[in-house]
Structure 1
Amino acid sequence: MDSTSAAVAGAVTFVWLGMVLGISFLEAPLKFRAPGVTIPIGLGIGRIVFRALNIAEAVLAVAVIAAVATGGPSTAVVVLTAAAVAVLFGQLAFIRPGLNKRSNAVLAGEDPALRRSRAHLYYVAAEIVKVLLLVALGSAVLAAA
């Protein structure tokens, strides 16, 4: 992979990784521990934050794809890029709609205990997989420089 494309892909990948770690693994769980933050307030904040994160992730994914595509990547880099993008797509297309449905119900006044959902667990599992893929991808593109 040429050094410029590798540097861009590595930088963008690690920015993406940092955003996922900061939002999904710090902000999201901590917000519910803040004094006065109820479940409806936390869900309302979370929906806004995750919508912004997912838009940023989509932009960063496109930037990584462009940098990788123009840099003469190895097969490993192509596979890791495709896998990270696929996980993001899966989250947006298949998991987020279920989470939105549940949060809509809670925000409409339903008891959250009545609307238990595995979608949150699937989202967290996908985030963990995505983090591992992004670490591997960032390392692979920088090693290829």
Structure 2
Amino acid sequence: MHAGSAVAVAATFIWLGMVLAISFLEAPLKFRAPGVTLPIGLGIGRLVFRALNTCEAVLAVAVLAGGFTAQKSGGASGAAMWVFVLAVVVLAVQVLLVRPALTRRSDRVLAGEDGPRSRAHLAYVGLEVVKVIALAVGGVLVLAG
């Protein structure tokens, strides 16, 4: 396996594992823990997702750099690169467009306001699903390539 392919595969599956563990395991479970109130859960969520998104940005650079390097030597297909780019675009949309809306909503909840659930939360979850699929497909394509 080419070094670029190895970097792309490793970074892809680390990124995928982090998203699965945080978004689909930790995030929903924290609100079920004894003593975790909505304000505490929101505060934890803000910290965890800020850290996750920072790690994701670093891993996205590694995935793209490894993938482009591998592609030049025939180790990664164009299809793999397209799904990696999709994952990075999804991350950018989450961080630049959706997370600010979630932050505004959590600010209102923490200030004591009551209101309907945020559609931004559903958008974030939907984008997480797209990102997970893109990372899994991209990683498999590089491994197969």
Query: Is the TM value for this pair above 0.5?
Result: yes
Question: Structure 2 stretches of 5 or more lacking a match?
Answer: none
Aligned to 2:127: 126
Amino acid at match of 1:87: V
Aligned to 2:2: 3
Tell me, in whole angstroms, the C-alpha distance in 2 between the residues paired with 1:60 and 1:97. 22
TM-score by length of 2: 0.93
Whether contact under 8 Å (1:91, 1:126) holds in the other structure is yes
Deviation at 1:75, TM superposition (A): 1.1
Question: Structure 1 stretches of 5 or more lacking a match?
Answer: none
Whether contact under 8 Å (1:17, 1:131) holds in the other structure is yes
* Number of residue pairs aligned between Structure 1 and Structure 2: 141
Aligned to 1:82: 85
Tell me, in whole angstroms, the C-alpha distance in 1 between the residues paired with 2:44 and 2:57. 20
Deviation at 1:116, TM superposition (A): 2.5
Q: Identity, % of aligned pairs?
A: 62
- Is the counterpart of residue 142 in structure 1 residue 131 in structure 2? no
Higher relative contact order (CA 8 A, sep 6+): 1
Amino acid at match of 1:124: V
Whether contact under 8 Å (1:102, 1:115) holds in the other structure is no
- Superposition map of 1:12-23 within 5 A: 12-23=11-22
Aligned to 2:104: 101
Tell me, in whole angstroms, the C-alpha distance in 2 between the residues paired with 1:128 and 1:110. 29
Tell me, in whole angstroms, the C-alpha distance in 1 between the residues paired with 2:32 and 2:85. 36
TM-score by length of 1: 0.93
Tell me, in whole angstroms, the C-alpha distance in 2 between the residues paired with 1:140 and 1:7. 12
Whether contact under 8 Å (1:5, 1:68) holds in the other structure is yes
Amino acid at match of 1:122: A
Aligned to 1:62: 61
